[in-house]
């Protein structure tokens, strides 16, 4: 009987990244987008689901929060056994969930990327109005990086950004709320897409990308935040992590495709096609 070759040694585990967010049944945003982006960028994605949405290309038809106990149990199961090298947060929905997740994140030694999700691409509310203050007071102080779009900047600071010249003041107002870094995303402005990374020591980094004539951009914000978390888990410094994530997301936007009758998703697998 021929001898079988020895079994190969187990491969080393890739960096581990945890997303704490809502599920998108249409597969374009939320947990689904986060895990796709993490796979594409070579890390092991794990999840804590905070809410379940009924969602498609036309919008969010409804959402149901998970109990805080379920969110806490998912988090502890992953962190206590597997460990994490970065965390990304998305849809947290309610005061109770924001408080629960903020408390959990305060106890970990890993970078935390907070995407302060307020509304969906279609304008559907994904955060209770009364929870905005809790995001401001509890969640942002435990963030390594916050990644608000311009609507979320206004929601959190009261400031309105009408052009690139307004972005540094908005970034400083957000930085004053506690995160170590802020990435103000200028995607809703006219002209070239420009984002500003702003750090506590007065550091400023601008990231510019061409604007593609493609309406299929569902999941852009989730994908960018989870991509930054992936690059941080791989050991990149914050400015380099944002640059690498921005390059990946720009390609995903360029490859966005139609699904259903509304806005389709970005293409998380664009590098493979």
Catalytic residue IDs = 185, 217, 219-222
Residue 185: strand, helix, or coil: strand
Cα 47 to Cα 38: distance, rounded to the nearest angstrom: 11
CA geometry: angle 236, 149, 30, nearest 5 deg: 75
Torsion angle defined by CA atoms of residues 135, 140, 144 and 146, in that order, rounded to the nearest 10 degrees: 70
CA dihedral (243, 248, 251, 257) positive or negative: negative
DSSP letters of 191-242? SSEEEEEEETTS-EEEEEEPPPS----BTHHHHHHHHHHHHHHTT--HHHHH
Phi, psi of 63 (to 5 degrees): -145, 155
Under 8 Å between Cβ of 58 and 196: no
């Amino acid at each position: 009987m021929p001898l079988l070759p020895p079994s190969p040694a187990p491969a080393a585990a890739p960096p581990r990244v945890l997303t704490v967010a809502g599920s998108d049944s249409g597969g374009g945003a939320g947990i689904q987008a986060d895990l796709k982006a993490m796979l594409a960028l070579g890390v092991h994605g794990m999840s804590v689901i905070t809410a379940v949405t009924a969602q498609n290309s036309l919008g969010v038809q409804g959402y149901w929060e998970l109990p805080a106990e379920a969110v806490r149990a998912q988090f502890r199961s992953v962190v206590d056994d597997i460990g994490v090298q970065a965390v990304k947060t998305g849809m947290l929905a309610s005061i109770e969930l924001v408080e629960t997740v903020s408390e959990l994140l305060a106890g970990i030694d890993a970078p935390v990327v907070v995407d302060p999700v307020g509304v969906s691409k279609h304008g559907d509310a994904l955060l209770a109005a009364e929870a905005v203050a809790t995001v401001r007071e509890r969640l942002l102080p435990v963030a390594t990086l916050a990644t608000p779009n311009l609507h979320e900047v206004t929601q959190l600071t009261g400031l309105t950004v009408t052009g690139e010249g307004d972005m540094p003041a908005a970034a400083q107002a957000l930085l004053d709320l506690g995160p170590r870094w802020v990435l103000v995303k200028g995607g809703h402005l006219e002209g070239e897409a420009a984002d500003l990374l702003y750090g506590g020591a007065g550091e400023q980094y601008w990231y510019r990308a061409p604007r593609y004539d493609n309406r299929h951009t569902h999941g852009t914000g989730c994908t960018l935040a989870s991509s930054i978390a992936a690059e941080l888990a791989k050991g990149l410094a914050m400015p380099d992590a944002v640059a690498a994530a921005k390059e990946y997301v720009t390609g995903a936007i360029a490859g966005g495709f139609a699904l259903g009758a509304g806005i389709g998703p970005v293409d998380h697998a664009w590098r493979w096609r």
